[in-house]
């Protein structure tokens, strides 16, 4: 999913900033991004940044609680928006992630679609978990 997010950013640079990346650059940066993601689970950052200012850090949620992080953007000129959603468990593992581009009338519509998509992802996860529990109990 992280790789999808990464390529989505390249697509946005192409669509919104008219940047034309070469294939080798995209692949090289994608491999680097995957390596960075693999290293993220073993790194713990505490304290501030290089300038001594406090830095916001993601904190583990309560046991049994899923955390949804989402963000999006919208361009009035093209009426095109894009958003990404990441769902993590209480240990920080990424359970689901999604990125989409949409054509909508306003930034509020982009936010609404983000919210609906977040709810859909969680609903689908709950249904799958329920089916798995039923299957396991019948074995």
Residue 37 clears pLDDT 80, i.e. is over it: no
Alpha carbon separation from 103 to 3, 48, 63, 100, 113 (Å, rounded): 23, 39, 37, 10, 11
Lowest mean per-residue pLDDT among 12-16, 40-44, 82-86, 119-123: 40-44
Of residues 125 and 56, more confidence is placed in 125
Average pLDDT, the chain: 75
Residue 138, pLDDT score: 62
pLDDT tier for residue 44 given thresholds of 50, 70 and 90:
low
Residue 19 clears pLDDT 70, i.e. is over it: yes
Of residues 62 and 127, more confidence is placed in 62
Could you report the per-residue pLDDT of 74-120, keeping only the tens digit for each?
888 898 888 888 888 888 888 888 888 888 888 888 888 888 888 88
Task: Name the packing angle between helices 23-40 and 2-17 (round to 10°).
Answer: 140
Listed by start position, the domains of the chain span 1-40, 60-139
- Write the burial class of residue 134 (CB in 10 Å: 0-12 exposed, 13-18 middle, 19+ buried): exposed
Residue 99, pLDDT score: 87
């Amino acid at each position: 999913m992280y790789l999808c997010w990464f390529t989505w950013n390249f697509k946005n640079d192409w669509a919104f900033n008219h940047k034309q990346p070469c294939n080798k650059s995209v692949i090289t940066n994608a491999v680097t991004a995957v390596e960075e993601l693999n290293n993220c689970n073993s790194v713990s950052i505490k304290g501030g940044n290089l300038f001594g200012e406090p830095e916001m850090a993601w904190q583990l949620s309560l046991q049994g609680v899923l955390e949804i992080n989402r963000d999006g953007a919208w361009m009035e000129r093209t009426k095109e928006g894009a958003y990404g959603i990441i769902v993590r468990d209480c240990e920080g593992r990424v359970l689901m992630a999604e990125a989409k581009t949409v054509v909508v009338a306003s930034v509020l519509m982009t936010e609404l679609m983000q919210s609906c998509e977040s709810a859909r992802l969680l609903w689908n996860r709950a249904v799958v978990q329920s089916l798995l529990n039923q299957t396991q109990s019948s074995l």
